[in-house]
Chains A and B, each alone.
Chain A
Amino acid sequence: MIQMEDRGNVAVIHIRTPSIDALSAREIEEYCGRSRKTTVLDFAEVAFINSAGISGLLKFIVAARKRGHLVYAVNVSPHHRKIFKMVELSRFMPILEPHELAQLLS
C-alpha cells in the first residue's frame, strides 16, 4: 500500500490506496521513524481521507518532527486541500506543487 522512494535527505512516500481511514492509517503509522530530513507524502492515488486517516498522518508528522524532519504533501485534491485547511493540518504538513517536488528531487 505504501511505496517509499528514498533519495538520501529527501524521501517521497507514495500512498497507494484510494482510502486513508482507520484500517489503512495503520500502515502509514508503521512508517513512523522512517522519515528523512525532507519527507513528501504523495496523495495522487488517494480519493478519501477521514479523521482516523488524518490521525494516522498526524502520528507520522509528530514522529518526523521529533527527529527534526519536515513533512510535506503533494498531489492533494481540491477537496482534500479544503479538509486539510479546515482542520489546520496544512500548518503542519504544507502542500507542495508538483514542480516544487521536482525541484527538490533534482
Chain B
Amino acid sequence: MNRVEIRIPSDLVFERVVRAATQEIGRQMGFSEERVADLTLAVSEAVANAIEHGNRFQREVHVGIVFSLEADQMVVRVIDQGRPDRPLEVRRQGLTEEALQQGDFRGLGLFLIHQLVDRVEFSTSEEGNTFTMWLHINAPDEQARRQTP
C-alpha cells in the first residue's frame, strides 16, 4: 500500500467508516494492535475536528483522508474545506479538578492526538485546512516509548 484516499460527507456517522478503514490499514501496515488502536483514535479525533470545526457539519462539504507511506513512516492527512481564524487550541495537560468543576472538557481530542502520534502539523490555505500526522512504522508501542527514560 502506498496511498489510500477516502472522502466522506461532514457527518459524524461517517467518522465511524473512516475508523474501520483506519484499523484495517494499520493492520495491513504491520502495526501492533496497540499502535492500531492509537492510530485509530488519533484519526478519529482529527476527522471529528475537521467535520465539526472545519466544515461545520455541512454534509455536502467533504472531508478527505489520505493515508500514505513515506520512508518508514505512515502519514495521514485530514483535509477539510473550512477556514478557521486560527488553529484549534491544544490542551497542555489532562483533566484537572478545576476543569471538571467548570465543565471545561475542550481540547481533549487534540491533546490525545499529540500524545499518540510521533509528529503533527497543521496548515491552512485558500482551499481549506490540512492536519497531518506521522507515525513511525517500526516504533515500539507508544506506552513503551514513553516509559523509556
**Chain B interfacial positions (CB closer than 8 Å to A):** 12-13, 15-16, 19, 34, 37-38, 40-41, 44-45, 48, 93-96, 100-101, 103, 105, 108-109, 111-112, 115, 142-143
Q: Could you tell me the distance between the alpha carbons of A76 and B87 in the complex, rounded to whole angstroms?
A: 33
Q: Tell me which residues from 24 to 59 in chain A have a Cβ below 8 Å from any Cβ of chain B.
A: 48, 50-52, 54-55, 58-59
A50: chain B residues within 8 A (beta carbon): 41, 44-45, 48, 109, 112
Closest 10 CB pairs of A and B: A88-B94, A51-B109, A51-B108, A87-B94, A88-B95, A55-B105, A79-B37, A50-B44, A22-B12, A86-B115
Q: Count contacts on A: residues with CB < 8 A to the other chain.
A: 24
Q: Could you tell me the distance between the alpha carbons of A59 and B45 in the complex, rounded to whole angstroms?
A: 19
B19 touches A52 (CB 8 A): no
Q: Could you tell me the distance between the alpha carbons of A15 and B7 in the complex, rounded to whole angstroms?
A: 31
Choose from A62, A88, A91 the contact partner of B103 (Cβ within 8 Å): A62
Choose from A21, A48, A83 the contact partner of B112 (Cβ within 8 Å): A83
> Is A95 part of the contact surface with B, judged by Cβ < 8 Å?
no
> Is A82 part of the contact surface with B, judged by Cβ < 8 Å?
yes
Q: Could you tell me the distance between the alpha carbons of A23 and B142 in the complex, rounded to whole angstroms?
A: 28
B143 touches A62 (CB 8 A): no
CB-defined interface of A67-102 with B at 8 Å, one 1/0 digit per residue? 000000000001100110011110110000000000
B108 touches A55 (CB 8 A): yes
B34 touches A79 (CB 8 A): yes
A62 touches B48 (CB 8 A): no
A21 touches B95 (CB 8 A): no
State how many angstroms separate the Cβ of B78 from the closest Cβ of chain A.
14
| A50, A52, A58, A62 — most chain B CB neighbours (10 Å) | A50
A54 touches B100 (CB 8 A): no
A22: chain B residues within 8 A (beta carbon): 12, 15, 48
A58: chain B residues within 8 A (beta carbon): 95, 100, 105
Q: Could you tell me the distance between the alpha carbons of A21 and B14 in the complex, rounded to whole angstroms?
A: 12
Q: Could you tell me the distance between the alpha carbons of A88 and B37 in the complex, rounded to whole angstroms?
A: 19
Q: Could you tell me the distance between the alpha carbons of A50 and B13 in the complex, rounded to whole angstroms?
A: 14
> Is A61 part of the contact surface with B, judged by Cβ < 8 Å?
yes
B103 touches A52 (CB 8 A): no
State how many angstroms separate the Cβ of A94 from the closest Cβ of chain B.
14
Choose from B12, B19, B45, B143 the contact partner of A51 (Cβ within 8 Å): B45
